A and B are shown apart, each in its own frame.
Chain A
Amino acid sequence: MNAAGTGMDGLFDVAVVGGGVVGCAMARRFALEGARTILLERSTDILAGPSKANSALLHTGFDATPGTLELACVRAGYAEYLEIRERLNLPLLETGAVLVAWTEEEAAKLDGILAQAHANGVTDVRRIGRDELIAREPHLATAAREAILVPGEHVIDPWSAPLGYLHQALENGAQALFSAPVERGEFDGSRWRLDTPRGSVSAALVINCAGLWGDHLDQSLLGGTDFTIRPRKGQFAVFDKAAAPYLRSILLPVPTERTKGVVLARTIFGNLLVGPTAEEQIDREHPSTDGPTLARLVEHAARLVPMLAGMPVTAAYAGLRPASEHKDYRIRAHAERRWITVGGIRSTGLTGALGIARHVWSLYEGLGSRHTAPAAPVWPRMPNIAEHLSRDFQQPGYGEIVCHCELVTRREIEAALTGPLPAGDLGGLKRRTRAMMGRCQGFYCSAHVCAIAKGRIAMPDKLGETL
């Protein structure tokens, strides 16, 4: 049986399993290299897992562990994002970061962090004294002593980036199949047959980008795995846009052994976020928040930036890092089985994705496969939803503003429901447009948005019942 809706005879060079940011970047790379590529995602849209719920920072790699694959992929991913973002119309908020020492003990660690940054090739990182720090960030609490300035750490849009990657893959011949969990499959010595509820797909190679489920996928199809996912939850609170004037840079803590710690950062949408926590849990399905932790995050933010005291919270969310028992990424080619595992992409995958995809492409070439890249690849432009750039409501003819808090137009919503990669569900529609994501959280617009989207996307049971 061929997969429904692929319109192909089900014969692919590669099948990418998983539509997180890593899978989307992978599909893009392979499509741009000329491989016939299909992406299989179990959910109704891309970004069903941790890729939808992170800190949205474009990391330089200044604090990554030297010599790791993670560092190499982050550096390469960072460079490629900057290189391609204008052509795909992906936003960048050039904030820079300050890693602030609040105690003498922390100040003593700054030199080591600086040396590591330089060793990692991030040479513009430097130490700044209290005066320079306060000139840059006048709203910091007085306890701030001194800092390390990382000019290249920036804020991006965590949703339009992977959307742009997969969109470009599709425009250059790749295919994507949603509601298609890969549950079984078989390798006949030269080809894989992957079985999904929407049919089977035949591919010469499988790339496991299943994120939180990567170890399970290896286990059930390869019959073994060399890592175990240990989800590490990160909770966030997002402050109202009124908070944004009080912080310019990303505010980083001095890291500990276990975690990079809680960050304060602007979002590309004009808010300010605080998070993430780092909490081990067994459950992979529920990135739940809890009230006391959110309250602690909010208090923490107000301790570092006192003007945030009493600032309303617009949103709260949590993501599960697909961490494993290993510190580094788990990327491995099983040459004889025609299978590449891309696992354990724990806390830097948004940045690393483009670099990871290049690395996997080189592993793939090492397996002896050759393709002809399209001579003139298509570069689709993503609609902009970043606050600091020109928005759709500023251009006449948009029909109506549907979401007033985020000034989302009817034209934007219609665009998100059509095209080669339309929103598959309400979450996907929110992430493509920001409708219902503002301070009123749908008080004004949720009913109207649902009425527009009804019948055109997967709706949760009952939401669409007409009276």
Chain B
Amino acid sequence: MMDPQPRSSSCRVAIVGGGPAGLGAALALRQRGIDRVVVIEREAEAGGIPRHCGHPVFGWREFGRVLSGPVYARRLRDAALAAGVEIRTRSSVTQLHPGGGVELASPAGLEQLAAERVILATGVRETPRSARLVGGDRPWGVLTTGALQSFVYLERLRPFRRPVIVGTELVSFSAILTARAAGMRPVAMIEENGHTTARWPSAWMARAFGLRLYLGTRLVDIRGNGRVEAVNVETGGKTATIDCDGVIFTGRFLPAAELVRSSPLRWDSGSGGPVIDQFGRCSDPAYFAAGNLLRAVETAGWCHREGRRVGGFVADDLQDRLPRSPRRIELERGPGIKLIVPQAIEVGLTDPSAMLQLRVDRDLSGRLTIDAGGQRLWERRLATRPERRILIPLQALSIPPGVDRLQVGFTP
């Protein structure tokens, strides 16, 4: 077989990923009168992760009511289509080119799509077993929440009946709900820390569903020939075996940044996403990014709003109203700071709604500080934990002249 010549086409804005963020960006662009806005989505339908979250709560901010994920996804899709967005499904972007071109594969063949601007909105996924280096046998029945939701809500299949749930983030409780909805009886929930990660009345919820919550407990390994039979756990030096027929690894979200990492765009090891400025603009100014690709993890509503906001900036940019500032400041992470988004600030152009978003990598209490050289620009007393959102309005910072980096840190 010969490799056919890729076809080529063009558009004004190509949006990679048709989840809440990508659809939000597309809608905003159309509302600002930008034409030829194309959303490229690799699944059979746009909508992103909410497509397979069969349970509420979605849509409160956007539609003023509580919707299930699939209904919410459909609403976002319909809104984008009604506004004249072109959505191309079953199309996978495989490569990003400097200056705005993307390569994509679809059942019609390979294609080069030249776009004046590209918005990346490829979302997140959870950390699977292998990346957590959990040992043992390799039986069937080890899934992430996302996979479980696809089994239950998209394919109507029940992969197991008595799973163990690893992790206690918000999504871990989605896993319980999904499992219960499909007639499973999760037997246990395992958390390494001494407390649950999610703020929710989580311990209560676990108990209400009759599963045992193991805090301060490490998953040692998974056992089973063919399919999961048990897991071994360790609590304070003591080991125990929990009988089960499946394992759900929940959370520990990672931005789906493969395209970024294999492109010339700068990538940030803290957030796991592309380096952006406060407008969502990447190191190559033809590229912007929005949604959970920027950092793990926010809600659908948050990502949608973020998409709309970045869509607006791209419209500004196409209408020559988003100049690049001659002064660009980089933010440096001190110990304890897991991520800061944006990683760069273009001084003098700030829009009033811009926020710095932070997360920490351990339980911390003390003062969160922002310094320029030795000079303190901002501080706030705070007690926080990993996976909790921290926001700082950019307007709160007055950046002295001559400074090109800020240090973000924590002092007890």
Contacts and interface: CB of A to CB of B under 8 A. Distances in A.
Interface residues of B, number: 57
A447 B135 contact: no
Nearest to B218: A291
Given A316-B135, A448-B154, A460 B227 contact: yes
B147 A447 contact: yes
A443 B142 CA distance: 11
B136 interface: yes
Contacts of A439: 131, 258
Nearest to A400: B90
B152 A441 contact: no
A448 B221 contact: no
B126 A396 contact: no
A411 B350 CA distance: 50
Interface in B132-149: 133-141, 143-144, 146-147
A364 to B, nearest CB: 35
A65 interface: no
B229 to A, nearest CB: 11
Contact of A286 (B109, B137, B161): B137
A426 interface: yes
Central interface residue in A393, A395, A443, A465, by most chain B CB within 10 Å: A443
B131 A290 contact: no
A116 interface: no
Contact of A465 (B129, B157, B221): B157
Given A404-B92, A463-B141, A467-B183, A291 B154 contact: no
A441 B129 contact: yes
Interface string A264-295: 00000000000000000000011011111111
Contacts of B157: 447, 450-451, 454, 463-467
Nearest to B269: A310
A216 B42 CA distance: 50
B375 interface: no
Given A396-B109, A448-B150, A462-B159, A288 B137 contact: yes
B42 A446 contact: no
Given A390-B3, A396-B108, A463 B227 contact: yes
B3 A394 contact: yes
B173 interface: no
B151 to A, nearest CB: 4
A467 B152 contact: yes
Nearest to B92: A401
Given A242-B261, A447-B150, A314 B4 contact: no
A464 B220 CA distance: 28
A394 B111 CA distance: 10
Contacts of A241: 258, 262
A11 interface: no
Contacts of B144: 440-443
Interface in A37-67: none
A397 interface: yes
B92 A315 contact: no
A307 interface: no
Contacts of B109: 395-396
A394 B110 contact: yes
Contacts of B262: 241-242
Nearest to A297: B133
B226 interface: yes
B182 interface: yes
A405 B140 CA distance: 20
B396 interface: no
Contacts of B285: none
Nearest to B127: A312
B166 to A, nearest CB: 13
Contacts of B141: 460, 462-463
A404 B104 CA distance: 12
A399 interface: yes
A407 B104 CA distance: 11
B1 A447 contact: no
13 contacts: A242-B258, A289-B138, A291-B134, A393-B92, A393-B105, A396-B4, A401-B105, A442-B147, A444-B125, A451-B155, A460-B140, A465-B157, A467-B182
Interface of A: 237-238, 241-242, 285-286, 288-295, 298, 310, 312-317, 390, 393-401, 404-405, 407, 426, 439-444, 446-448, 450-451, 454, 460-467
Interface of B: 1, 3-4, 42, 44, 90, 92, 94, 105, 107-110, 125-126, 128-131, 133-141, 143-144, 146-147, 150-152, 154-161, 182-183, 220-221, 225-227, 245, 254, 256, 258, 261-262, 269
